[in-house]
């Protein structure tokens, strides 16, 4: 599986410019006026992973298939969105469909680009959107509590559980804290996720800086980094303009351009890695002469569940997973050599897949 990340923020902070760069398309109209993005634009991009290329080279795979990540460019939000201001209702509906939020914050001065609030203050911008999402959650919870009153009175277990979780969320929200701050027991995790509250979505703050600040950041991004630390969230510094320029270059030219700018890697790589950390994701590989392929799983996934990512029948009929660690596969020169060196292991249903594992699943049909 890949994952879906919604790119959100106030109008004119660089959301669509970043989206265009990340997806290497011009599908999202980037213009200097609010609400230039009316419908959410969706872009599916390959997740860069040097390990996959090395594995394919060793196995002489005919095809390389990376795992995918989906970006959704969602319409800009303004104050009052929770009450339907601007494109608020549409924004709130779109955001429910994503796994995580990349909250783009304007961290640059530019008199030619209008700010909807007439000032540059990324922390205040973050508060604006967080407040609107919290207000929307409160309104949603109020309606849900009214709808389950009868079931709760009738002793319906699911309704009683739902009421308890909704009230816990209300307590946090009324205290000025997002729903993700609520500690949820394992037994409640599934029901909690089913509530689909906006403020339970993990947030990655994306500091959109000017070109000169792309390598080290600036005073604005430093304030965002501190805010993220205080919240237990994550932040990443990117120059959307630089990413847009890179997206138009050939790989060799892009590498030279990055070196000239003093950047070790493209913003896309940093953003994806931060997104993986945010959602606790990792990658395993299947490798053979036909193809070398990367698969995304959540950290802590068992071997049968990992097999199920390829096909449900793999999980249902799981027998075992022939497993080689990435470092062993590469250092020894492939599957056969790893097997002869005793580095291929037969793992059962209880095995928890590790990042970089090269796997071959055996299953009953």
Specify binding-site residues. Answer: 12-17
Name the residue with tokens 């897949």.
353
Q: How far apart are CA 347 and CA 349, in angstroms?
A: 7
Q: Name the binding residues for ATP.
A: 12-17
Q: Which two tokens stand for residue 5?
A: 């990340």
Nearest CA to 205 among 178, 187, 224, 219? 224
Q: Can you give the length of the chain in residues?
A: 365
Strand order of the β-sheet with 68-73 is 41-46, 68-73, 4-8, 100-107, 203-209, 234-238
Q: How far apart are CA 180 and CA 168, in angstroms?
A: 11
Q: Which two tokens stand for residue 255?
A: 């590498």
**Separation in Å, CA 220 to CA 208, 214, 241, 274:** 10, 12, 17, 19
User: How many other C-beta atoms lie within 10 A of the C-beta of residue 273?
Assistant: 15
């Amino acid at each position: 599986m890949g994952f879906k990340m919604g790119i959100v923020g106030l109008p004119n902070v660089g959301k669509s410019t970043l989206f265009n760069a990340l997806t290497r398309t011009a599908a999202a109209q980037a213009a200097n006026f609010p609400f230039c993005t009316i419908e959410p634009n969706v872009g599916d991009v390959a997740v860069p992973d040097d390990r996959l290329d090395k594995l394919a080279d060793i196995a002489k795979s005919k095809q390389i298939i990376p795992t995918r990540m989906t970006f959704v460019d969602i319409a800009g939000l303004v104050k009052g969105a929770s009450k339907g201001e601007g494109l608020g209702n549409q924004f709130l509906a779109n955001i429910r469909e994503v796994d995580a939020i990349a909250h783009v914050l304007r961290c640059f001065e530019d008199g030619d680009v209008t700010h909807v609030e007439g000032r540059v203050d990324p922390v205040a911008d973050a508060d604006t959107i967080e407040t609107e999402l919290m207000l929307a959650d409160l309104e949603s919870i109020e309606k849900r509590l009214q709808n389950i009153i009868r079931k709760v009175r009738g002793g319906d277990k699911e309704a009683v559980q739902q009421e308890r979780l909704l009230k816990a969320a209300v307590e946090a929200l009324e205290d000025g804290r997002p729903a993700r701050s609520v500690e949820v027991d394992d037994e409640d995790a599934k029901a909690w996720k089913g509530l689909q509250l906006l403020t339970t979505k993990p947030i990655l703050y994306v500091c959109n800086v000017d070109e000169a600040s792309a390598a080290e950041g600036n005073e604005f991004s430093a304030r965002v980094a501190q805010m993220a630390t205080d919240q237990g969230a994550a932040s990443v510094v990117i120059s959307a303009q630089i990413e847009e320029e890179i997206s138009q270059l050939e790989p060799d030219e892009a590498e030279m351009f990055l070196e000239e700018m003093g950047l070790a890697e493209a913003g896309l790589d940093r953003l994806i890695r931060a997104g993986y950390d945010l959602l606790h994701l990792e990658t395993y590989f299947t490798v053979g002469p036909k193809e070398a392929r990367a698969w995304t799983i959540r950290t802590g996934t068992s071997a049968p569940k990992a097999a199920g990512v390829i096909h449900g029948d793999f999980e249902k009929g799981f027998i075992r997973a022939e497993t080689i660690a990435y470092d062993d596969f590469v250092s020894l020169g492939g599957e056969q050599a790893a097997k002869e060196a005793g580095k291929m292991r037969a793992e059962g249903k209880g095995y928890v897949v590790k990042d970089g594992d090269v796997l071959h699943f055996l299953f009953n049909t």
